[in-house]
Amino acid sequence: MYKFQFHTITQQGKASMCEAIIIVLQGKVTLNNDSVYAGEYRYFASVETICAQGQYYIVYFETKADIRFTEDMAFHMSFSACLQHVKDIATAFTKKDHIHEWQTVLLFEQWLFTLWQMRRMGGDFSYIEQKITGQDFANLSVQQLSMELHMHRSQLTKQFKQHYGMSLQQYLVYQKVKAVKQYLHNNEKLMTIAHHVNWPNEGYVGQQFKKYTGVTVSQYRQLLLSPTFLFAPYLEDFLVALDIEPQAQCINPIWGKQEYLGLTVPTIDLTKDMTRQIEKLQIQHMIMDHGVERWFHSSIDLPASQIYLSAKAYQWRQNLLQLGLLFNREEQALQRIKDYAATVNHVKERMRLWQKAKVACIRVSESGVYLHTTAHSYVTEVLHTFFKPTKFMTANQPRIALSREMQMQMDADFLLITFENAKSQQNQAWQHFEAVQKGQYAIVDFYTWMNFGVISNHKKLHDLQRIFC
């Protein structure tokens, strides 16, 4: 017997859970990814409502098939669609002739296939990508796609956002902006472009273009941005991920530079005279997020055009896609995101034994010990994906200082320790943690773990495999 779960949306719009139990009378259940399911389903046994509100169902099936399921199988289907499938199967089962028995088998197989298709959507959006890149993509809507995939709109949007870091509606707009850029290369007028992408007017085209690229249409036409003479302080990870080498790399007198990127370009110290350094290296364009204002005042008159990323720093997928648009590397940006999602799934499979463990990342400076929390910190996405939070990790700020008393109260099963520099390694305070005293810790690279970039996140995953697998 094996139980799998799939989410539904109730008639009130709230998420609920349905459970289906498959009873294998002849055959076996295999729970690894190497085996396949084969055979035929014999007949449907019974349907039982176990919740008075009609939101939960247990469905029993008898089969002589060998079936493959993964332990974390989660399907998504609208409540009404799920309920209709169950009713159709139950109705067919009440008929005793061979025709209706055959109909029962077909209905069940159709339902199971639909559920399986929903599961695959968690990591494969090729159907949507093909539709969006088709000839009529300008008229596509989220509602149309959800109907074609037999999925509830909210569930489809949720899965898509987990994969791409933006909603499906945002992705549709992103693809339109990509098309706008191509029309601009052909010197078409904005009014004509608006008609091509089914937008109301040229003003709306300009508004969406600025939102997704960070520059106006006129700036894009005039600048003819080239991936040369660029400086992207603390965002070099994104450029390298798109095979763009910046003109310079930022450096901090305390932390050094991001060695994990392997760049050999000149450095710029944000704590010193920015204007002189930028002029000396002939920097033409600066790519910045809003966090860069911590390092120099925004009112400084910099001798380079400034392009701001529109998303928050932790929304690295959106920032990568924006830079992909800006430098004609859209496909490369999308591929990086897909590769990351595939790596996450692979690491999840290998780290099943650690899923209930509490793991935290500790940052050690010369004067203090800090815990990175679940509030959009550098480590939130990776650690929250694989482990449970420890005590104090649910604070509402990305990083908190830990007193010795708090260190003694930490309930971590394992700690990842990163030092800001060589001098911070002389701070012995980090050894007060119980996990450290038990030897349940590992030292990780500072800049690799204190970064939001896609290369950084990939390296974090590799660290987890090295440590826990």
> Are residues 242 and 287 located together in one domain of the fold?
yes
pTM: 0.72
Smallest Cα–Cα separation from 289: which of 264, 314, 265, 266?
314
Domain CATH number, residue 459: 3.40.50.1980
Q: Is the dihedral of CA 262, 263, 264, 269 positive or negative?
A: negative
pLDDT at 246: 92
In a domain, residue 152? The reply is no
Residue 67 has pLDDT above 50, yes or no: no
Spatial distance between the Cα atoms of 408 and 433, rounded to a whole number of angstroms: 6
Please indicate, yes or no, if residue 140 is contained in any of the structural domains: no
Structural domain includes residue 196 = yes
% pLDDT > 70, the chain: 68
- Residue where one domain finishes, among candidates 120, 153, 179: 120
Least confident window among 275-284, 292-301, 347-356: 292-301
Tokens linked to 452: 């939001």
pLDDT for the residue 345 = 85
Q: Would the pLDDT of 295 be above 70?
A: no
pLDDT band of residue 366 (cuts 50, 70, 90) is very high
336 occurs within a structural domain: no
Domain range for residue 263? 170-330
CATH number at residue 266: 3.40.50
| 81 and 6 within one domain | yes
Same domain, 212 and 308: yes
Of 109-118, 145-154, 285-294, 363-372, the least confident: 109-118
pLDDT computed for residue 225 by the predictor: 53
Is residue 138 included in any domain, yes or no?
A: no
Q: What is the pLDDT of residue 414?
A: 95
Mean residue pLDDT of the chain comes to 75
Q: Which of 330, 325, 295, 294 is nearest to 307 (CA)?
A: 325
Q: Residue 32 has what pLDDT?
A: 32
**176: in domain:** yes
- Same-domain check for residues 317 and 384: no
Residue 20 has pLDDT above 80, yes or no: no
> What CA–CA distance (Å, rounded) separates 260 from 251?
13
The residue from 270, 303, 330 where one domain ends is: 330
Q: What is the pLDDT of residue 395?
A: 82
Instruction: Say if residue 324 is in the same domain as residue 370.
Output: no
Average pLDDT over residues 394-410: 90
Considering the domain architecture, whether residues 188 and 321 belong to the same structural domain is answered as yes
CB crowding 70-90: b at 16 or more within 10 Å, else e: eeebebbbbbebbbebbebbe
Same domain? For 455 and 423 the reply is yes
Question: How many domains does one find in the chain?
Answer: 3
H/E stretch holding 6 reads strand 2-9
**CA 413/CA 429 separation, integer angstroms:** 18
Assess if residue 165 is contained within a domain. Answer: no
Domain boundary among 120, 142, 162: 120
The reply to whether 177 and 325 lie within a common domain is yes
Residue 133 in domain? no
Pair 313, 435 in one domain: no
180 shares its domain with 312: yes
Please say whether the beta carbons of 323 and 333 come within 8 A: yes
445 & 361 share domain: yes
Task: Give the integer Cα–Cα distance in Å for 109 and 99.
Answer: 15
Query: 3-class DSSP state for residue 203?
Result: helix
